[in-house]
Structure 1
Amino acid sequence: MDHQSISDKTDTNPNPRPSSLRTNSTKRPMFGCKGKSLSFEDKICTVIPNDSVFLQTESDHEDEDRMCFSSFDSRWWEPDGDRNWVQYCMNTSIHGLKYLAESKRHICERLFWVLAFGISCLTASHLINSVWLKYSQSPVVITFQPFETFVEQVPFPAVTICNMNKVLKSKADEYMRAAMGPENDPQTVEAWKNVYYLDHVCSTSNKPFSATFNYTSTQGTVDPTILQLASNKITTGDKDVEDVAEFLQKASQPCSDMMKLCLWQGNVYDCSELFRPIETNFGKCCTFNMVPQTLLHRYMDDARDAPQDISDWNEWTSMSELISKGDLSSRKKFPRVQNRAGKVSGLAFLVDPDLEEYFCTASDSTGFRLATHLSTDVPHVTDFGLAIRPNYEHFVSVRPEITLADDVIEGISIEKRNCYMDGEFRLNYYNYYTSSNCMDECIANLTYEACNCVRYYMPRDHNRAICGPAKYQCAEDVKQKSFNLGVKNICQNCLPTCTEIKYFADATSTPFRRRVDLWADEYNKSTSWAKSNISIIHVYFGQDSSYARVRSQLYGFSDLVANFGGIMGLMCGFSGLSFIELIYFFSLRVWFRQRRKRHLRQKQELREAAERDRETALAYLGVGLSSSRRASIESARSNANNSISFKPISLVANSANEKDVDSLSSGYVSNSPTNLADNNGDDVVAVSKF
């Protein structure tokens, strides 16, 4: 081919595609993210609008990928397959999402699955919210233990019995006679105080039903003349006339006279060893298996408490020790425990009401009131006592209701579990916390705030005065107001203990045999109280065992996770790995994709720079220039005094193949001479950058 032909061809196409950049004309199918087939001849990547998709191809010189763009027509709802969320939807294990990202899906199909997935998520959210509210608002549930709790593990209840009669008739007559003595006689002054107390106890405190309607007004009353004399001689504010408890101790029936015979666990005991006196809201009473008053109250030292009993009871200091565990032989002496259920192993005692000594009563009947309660509770005989009828044998079957606390609920707030663990709440006047003791202390505080004193049976310290007869009405008004408003509403801090025992008693009775002297001894002599209206009382556990209730956690953490996972799996097919997928696709995968794009972009930029350098080298050799331009360049080179000899550019252009041009371009970029050989290998041209 001559030089002119080359020039003409070059003039026809002033910017021909360099031969080094041409490829074969075979169209190669390329696939974009949307799965559509494309074809192209050129391998040069061009920048296209944002609605294009990425393509990948291979270089003829290197075995690696590069990113290319190509655009094609698509509908607006077709998702871009290269986007991260589309790939997530196509690969996730969550149900229904792949139908949103699949190509060639009609918009109605996509809307259907959007609606279905949204409804499933809303339903799952509603169910999870219900479970969460149940967990957060009521986290404690009470269930039954799967195994039995036997009676030998449960403390026997405290038994408190009170005579209906408050004051012995002989004592009342003695005080009224002594009040008529000489004014300067100390015994007379003491008698005035006793008469003052006598009227207070009999006429105002705990009236019987008939007296409330002003019937039986003369029964158990003090002679008005003697009462007026006593009232004029004493001062109502005198500390000596405020301690009603002291009066009851000496004016009421002693426990030694009330309790005649006693049995415990089938063994005979002196009743004074089992029963101790106590003052309650009903009056003076006798109690069995109860914590000594010295230990129960913080600021009380009761001289009637035996030192040995205080020492034995002091070993039991925790409410959590109510239920015996492990070896029963190592259990403490107190509180007492019944070894087996039944009447024979329980408590039995004979009581004498001494009806001849009745002066004023808290009831219109005769006999006794009996209450069973926890050993650390103050007895409320007036409200919950059982009636004990004279001349009858009574059988009181006790059923314990045990509530235990699981250790896991200790981590739940008090407001949510609604009970106190051992030692969580401390009372000011009691050493042992129970809900009943807390309410008694609460009412005592209200009484002191309103009346500046407390009732004789209420808890107190040495700085609080006892309400005498003059303050009786004030104290009674406070009690009535608290009952009307509700004690639990006023004393809201008095929650139950998480571990507690309640005793429920069922009583039956039968009359004594008649025409038979039951109390004649071996010499056919009857005891002094044999002709009295006595009663026999049996108190015992009526069943061998019971199933304790347990306060436990409704949902633990594992239960909560299992519930949430079950709901999500049911409604959406969500699992733990689905959560890992979500994190992976929108964190690690995004980062790696961006890193790969940057790497491919850098490679593309290097290739584009190489292409530009190649084109520059070809232009330098004159390929693609006009004939006049090539002639001027050759003339300038021939006139230059250069030691390097050049072949005509046309010959170089015609004889150099693509490989030589690539070598030329590479030598140009590196700014170093490069040897080009023509096809015949006869001449070599040295090209250098100007």
Structure 2
Amino acid sequence: MKFIHAKLNVLLQRLKYTCKNLSVHGPSYLARKDVHLVCRIIYCIIYVQVWVVAVASIYKYISSYQEDTIRFTTQTDYLDWNTTVPSVTVCEIANLDEILVKLQKLDKQSSETIVSFAKDIAFYTGECPSCSLVNNFTIHNFSNYSSAFRSECKDLFISCTWNDKPLNCCQHFKPIQTEYGRCYSINNNQIGLIQSPYYAASSNARKLGTLELNLAQDFEAFLHSPEDVPYWNMELDRRISVLHGTEGSILFSVVDILNEPELSFIPPDVRQCRFPDESPDNIKGYHRYSYSVCIINCRIEAQIELCNCTSHLSPDEYKERYCDVRGLQCLTKHHATLKNLKVPGMNETGLNCDCLSSCVEPEYNTVAKKLIDCESNLKARKVKLILSNRPYERVTRQVARTGLDLLVAMVADFTTQLSQLYERHSSELQILVATFRKRNSDLRKERATCPSSLFHTWETLLQEVEADVVGCSNASSSLERVVATPLIEKTFHMKVQARKLFAHREGCELILSKADDQLNKSRQDYRTAFLNYCNNSNPTNLATYYDSHNTYVQQLIATNAMIEQYHRHTLPTILQELEEILTDVTTAVSDAICQEGEIITDKSTNQLRRYESLCAQARAVSSTADLAHLARTLLNNQPPMRTPKRAFMPPYPPEPDDPPLDVAAECMPPVLRGEMLLDRMAGGQARLNYEQLRKDAIDLEIQIKQLQDGLDALARVQSRSLESSIYSKVNEIQEEISMKKYDYRATQLHLAAVRAQVSNCIK
């Protein structure tokens, strides 16, 4: 404990030293001993509030940056680019007749329970009602069991055409694992193949793009982006189920999305989307990120959390966690929770998956979807997916604010708000001065027309505040005109230049990528020519081999030259320009802050000089001189007044209103003066009155002394309360002092009367 106490003392001393020596206004008052404790507490509260406001303001700007970082614009220059065709995935639908046939081929029992169980396992959709009826089922590898009831590609597809040109179905439709089991997908980047430009709809092409499929089994076709995988919650307007004896068609349009190069520098949580190569570490089974992949992974994690296993149709990476019959029963029990997605803000059952959308996923709009009956004797199930119109627009996701934009916006916005604050302060000061000017004119009419240093100082204060109105107005206009607006205008072209540089880098890397593709193609042609010559040695193949060799070498030299030029010259110049932009932006922001400081400094210096003069004038105010001026003014207006004493008025002669006296002259009482009359007739009573007056005088003197002592004690208590800033107690004591002073003065009046009576008796 002593060690901790010593450490705390050292820390407290260092904290006091730091507060005393800080140049920031405020903390020094916390460590000064000459400042009262209450004042230090008040300073501490104010200082903490200032920091809270500062942190809140910074947090506001950062939140605004995070929420308004991305913006979307629509481009309509549709003659310069092509629209990619979406991926199409075909999943087989359960057919009880086919399942029965395959059970017979596998020499399995074909009871109704077994058929239902085979259907639930092979075409699992989140629940298995028949699993509760086959608790003693001996097969545990449901993944292989499911594959046995699904058709292979060669048995599923009959024919495929793209723009009326035949396709090798199984060469283009590759197997992919989905929540519906094994499906077949074309133009899907999750399969790991290089996307061919074969699937593209040109804005100048006559045929926009039509994919026609003929399948031998019932199926469901999904229309989605190349990074997506079909999942249970996919939109219904982008899927169609084609059964025996029906034909389906989907007419759709595509709006591609283009991302600016600098978008990759923005964190996914800020831009609210992920690129395909930004797949989180917890996602398994798919190497490219998409919203559907995230939902599938979220559902798998929920299945493992609830039932300690996952569906046998999950990717192979989870094969160690595949469910047995009891596990499938558990999944069936939680089917309502696992299959639905919970909408934020709604009180409903479902998964709460925090999944971001894909940054590259286009917008697919289903124009029309038809499903018609055809001749029932046809074995093929047909579907057509047709691009409805030429591309006429695409959406561009742009970065509205970068890190430098945040700094520039904060400085400019702060300056603008400071300017508005000064403007409001100027208006309020002007209203305040006008109000008190009017009251001052009324006061001038009521007071005496004599010089007064106090009144002159008060008028000077009004003049200085009126000068502050002009100063605040000038500072407001200067901050807006000289700092805020020029800062935005000065840095705007720098922001545009930085974006163009990122676009240049992206374009150069795209050129290098195309050069690599050409190099790979020439290398493949070179190798093909070599193999052809090895298989058939003739002059024609030899000439082709030499030509392909020369083409490959030329392409290799060109590619290496482009790479060297890019890394030695192009990229360094781009980085150098970015460095220059950063330097220019830094200089512009620092100059703006400096100008802002100079404007406020000029205003404060002028204000300081004026108010120092006002303080000197206020210190020179003399109440004695003001009273002397007032007295001279009053003496000039009227003669000095003497103390108004009452004169002795004898009862005779009678006043005019008195009735006439019918008294003989010898019977008239003697006329007396304003003096005490002591004779034998009135002497006894006069002596008694004299003794009583002396006693009253002594009592009044004692009472006056007690009142004086009480006033002195109250004055001391009031002084201590003032030093302690206990103003409520000061007010209470002042009321008591006023009452005692009145009693003191009233007692003095009575004492003066008694003393005068005693003195008259002595005479």
Classify the TM-score, shorter chain. Answer: 0.3 to 0.5
Structure with the greater alpha carbon radius of gyration: 1
Query: TM-score when scaled to structure 2?
Result: 0.41
Structure with more relative contact order (C-alpha pairs < 8 Å, separation 6 or more): 1
More helix per residue: 2
More strand per residue: 1
Query: TM-score when scaled to structure 1?
Result: 0.45
